[in-house]
Amino acid sequence: PAFTVLPEVKAAAETMIENRGRKAHDDWRKVLDDLAASDEECFDETVAVLNGKRCLNALDGMTRYESGAEASRDTSHKVIQVLAEKMDNLVGGSADLSSSDKTAIDASGLLDDEHPTGRNVAYGVREFAQGTIMNGMALHGGLRVFGGTFLVFSDYLRGAIRLSALQKLPVVYVFTHDSIAVGEDGPTHEPVEQLMSLRSLPNVDVLRPADPNEVIAAWQQAIDSVDHPTVLVLTRQKLPVLSRTSKLADAGVARGGYVVSPQKGMRPSGILIASGSEVSLAIKAQERLFKLGEDVSVVSMPSMERFDAQPQNYKDQVLPPSVRRRTAIETGSTRGWERYVGLDGTIVGLDEFGASGAMDDVLANAGFTVENVVLTFQKTNVTGENHLSAIRL
């Protein structure tokens, strides 16, 4: 016959089901029945968690930032502590990098044979296994799982992220050291293509927050997810708190993109679009351009996927179709930004490997300076009525 199950295979499967599977199931049912008889409230909570109970608005009470500067990995660490206090079922871990990617739950120890209630998993340097174990915990139910490593190492667990997306699992991947700003670690540790590559995966929400308030908002989106994995892309270097994000970040991040720094007049003469650490660079360039007679707006785009899913009228408010002079800024591959800058726009990006050196020198060498952003914007198509000519500038 075309398909045959050998009798010995059938017998082995039946034995496994009866001796291992049924026993495990019966033991589990006894645990639940005993719990229901001894502590009805705890039983109800356990069943609710196993059925996917969510901690909605878990970060509403977390104080937003009004000033200062902080690495987004450090803000993320603070968020994790708040979430861990509110969510007993939150479990994290790292591929031997928890001290660098800041993913430890401080109030808990490591999970091991002697401490089964530990909420920190030490995966070791085995990123793919880390991702598949996280998927397994999510599939079992009851746990909200996150795990971290450096963004450049996301390649090692890409297959696991793909399976998270295929299986619609709300796993959270925390990737830090997100750009050539890593500096002294050199090109082996400086991601270039990873960010845009992750954005190409279906059913994956990639969020690259621009400041501490956007980090809080990004984590809220991640913890609210029910049918897709979330990738948080975070910095090692400090990011300044941006004006207005304490009020705008929650809604702006939820929509994937928003005007973080509007033009001063009624209509912008151009638009600067950026994500993550480059948003503050865009705002500095905006200030320089205004002195040169260009009244541009700055758009923070933490999530392309979320922005693309918005109604057209919202997208047109953020990126008015009539304003075709646009420049995108991101320390990564330029591929993909064309859809936002159009034929008349320009991109300050990186399509080659980074270099080893001090962070400021590496960034400047790659063109991530106010001067280069201004010059690049001035190379955009100069037709239109609301800007000065390149010659006059």
Give the catalytic positions in this structure.
Answer: 127
As to burial, measured by CB atoms within 10 angstroms (0-12 exposed, 13-18 middle, 19+ buried), residue 254 is middle
Three-state DSSP at 176 gives: strand
> Which positions ≥6 away from 12 have C-beta within 8 Å?
none
CA-to-CA separations, 153 to 182, 188, 191, 219, 351, in angstroms, rounded? 14, 10, 9, 21, 18
What size, in residues, is the chain?
393
| d(C-alpha 360, C-alpha 183), whole Å | 8
Tokens describing residue 178: 């997100």
Tokens describing residue 248: 């705008």
> Which positions ≥6 away from 287 have C-beta within 8 Å?
none
| d(C-alpha 146, C-alpha 9), whole Å | 38
Q: Residue 232 pairs with which residues in a beta bridge? A: 174, 207
